[in-house]
Amino acid sequence: MDLTKLTRQSHRHDRPGLPLLGRFRLAGARAHEICGAARRRLALWLAAEAEGPVLWIRPAWHPDRPHMAGMRAEIDPGRLVFVTPERPADLLWATEEALRAGALPLVICELPEPPGLTEVRRLHLAAEAGVEAGGGAGLGLLRTPGDGGAAGVESRWRLEPAHGPEATGWRLARLRARDAPPGDWAVARGAAGRPVLLREAATA
């Protein structure tokens, strides 16, 4: 086995990350991708697990703006710091610089399309440098349209609405991950209002 690869994998698992729905953990010092129609809600679930303020970078020109009152079911909106670059190139630049600073547990970036491998590798390196400098999770979260497709991300997750006539629900899918197989799960609102993982959904 490649000793360098083994060392990197072990180092990745030793670093702090963010829990998701009490069962999963997104590795720290890495960039992850979320997609699907309910990807904003998935970002809020992860932001709620982080300690301290969360930086949210989004395009200034995009008409779909966050609704603060609607976010209260998931997180105190006062914990979110929004940055709205005017140019597409500044979205990833701002994300990279925020991760390298190491001052925040989570940096969320809304992108109009999935980034390439070089851009994602730069985010990984920036997140690792940030963790070394300031500690914490140092996690970058890329929100991409459709089914995503950013090359080289640590993991890719999709969240879709699955609401019924009497209950609010979602379908969570792990599309790829370096250390886990793909999977599909049902999620609903728990008694305390928090999202709860119900079961593994049937797959073909």
Q: Is 197 exposed, middle or buried (0-12, 13-18, 19+ CB in 10 A)?
A: middle
Q: Which two tokens stand for residue 71?
A: 């976010």
Which domains can be identified in the chain, with CATH numbers? 24-63+72-158 (3.40.50.300)
**What does each of the 204 residues of the chain score in pLDDT, given as a tens digit?**
343 343 344 345 466 789 999 999 999 999 999 999 999 999 999 999 999 999 999 999 988 777 777 788 899 999 999 999 999 999 999 999 999 999 999 999 999 999 999 999 999 999 999 999 877 778 999 999 999 999 999 999 999 999 888 778 999 999 999 999 999 999 999 888 889 998 776 443
Q: Which two tokens stand for residue 168?
A: 């609010």
